[in-house]
Structure 1
Amino acid sequence: MEMKQIYVLAALLLSFVARISSLSITVNDVECVYEYVFYEGDAISGNFVVVDHDIFWGSDHPGIDFTVSSPGGNVVHNIKGTSGDKFELKAPRSGMYKFCFHNPFSTPETVSFYIHVGHIPNEHDVAKDEHLDPINVKIAELREALESVTAEQKYLRARDNRHRHTNESTRKRVIGYTVGEYILLAAVSSLQVLYIRRLFSKSVSYNRV
């Protein structure tokens, strides 16, 4: 009886395993990330944020495109022209899924990418027990709810990092422009002084003649 309880507990723990990936990608043209989904109907969710270090996006910047392709090659999710977004979908089938970023601009962009594949077990995944199965499903649902909160925190943290980089870049640019203006002002003032001195020296020489 004790061995059966250990087996059931191990099966429950294995059924609760969720795969989480968090990484940073430099997108020059097209960059893809692959993730294997073991069960049809699994929840695939995540988010991405373009971390803009030094270059500001103008109003004409096309943004980053994001696509999710199923194992059959069909596009199951598509986001056009954005600097960051969240996504969520149900896997239509098991297999290898492809997550691709397309940067139509010539400047490389760094993308903070987070993905989570969640699985809520059913009666085929665990030992059949009328008491354990409802508990198993509830725990899996609670785990997915907590994971959703974690994903939101990661998304907000990535956006905060991007804003911090932008603010730091803005501060450096303002300081650079200010120093440049002072240097230019000093140079112009020096040229004016030299020009006025030269005029006065010429005026004095004319009076002597």
Structure 2
Amino acid sequence: MWGPLALLLLALSVGACKGLSFHLPPQARKCLKEELHRDVMVTGEYVVSEATAPGISTDLQVTDSSGHLLYSKTDAKKGKFAFTTDDYEIYEICFESRGQPGHFRVPDLLVTLNIKHGVEARNYEDIAKAEKLKPLEVDLRRLEDLSESIVKDFAFMKRREEEMRDTNESTSARVFYFSIFSMLCLVILATWQVFYLRRFFKTKKLIE
């Protein structure tokens, strides 16, 4: 029977190995978007297959929702990138194939991308060497960082829930006041129509 510590370490080891791959057609652009908190370390490792036709290359760009360029690589084939988020935003990783394939059909490029962020992106081997930590101390440091990350995620979710609740309450109040205003306008319009028709019929001597 495994204890909570072993299960948590297994979850960490599994979560640190996630990646994805996709095909990139010639003269095409594909992007991956991810929503991240503030002060989160992000690392990425990519491999782009060799083009079978001359003049075909792939560019890589990492930007935030404001268009700020965080990483750029022309003729990207294999490499790594890393950055730390400045604010809560949506970050975008884009691969773009450039060049004319000519008259022959060119196979799609295979892009393999492995992204890690937060606790997964930290290199605990380097930390252990720098601080001379024992294996158990490294595991405890990893658990401590994971616990801190979970606490921050819950705090962020709570803050977002409060913001959404305030937005819902504000929207409900505005809808309520708008409904009252609409009813008043309808009552005023109906009253005006009654008086107008009464005066019109009196003018035509249809009623007294």
TM-score range, shorter chain: 0.3 to 0.5
| TM-score in terms of structure 1 length | 0.44
Q: Which has the higher contact order (CA 8 A, sep 6+)?
A: 1
- Give me the TM-score of the superposition, normalised by structure 2: 0.44
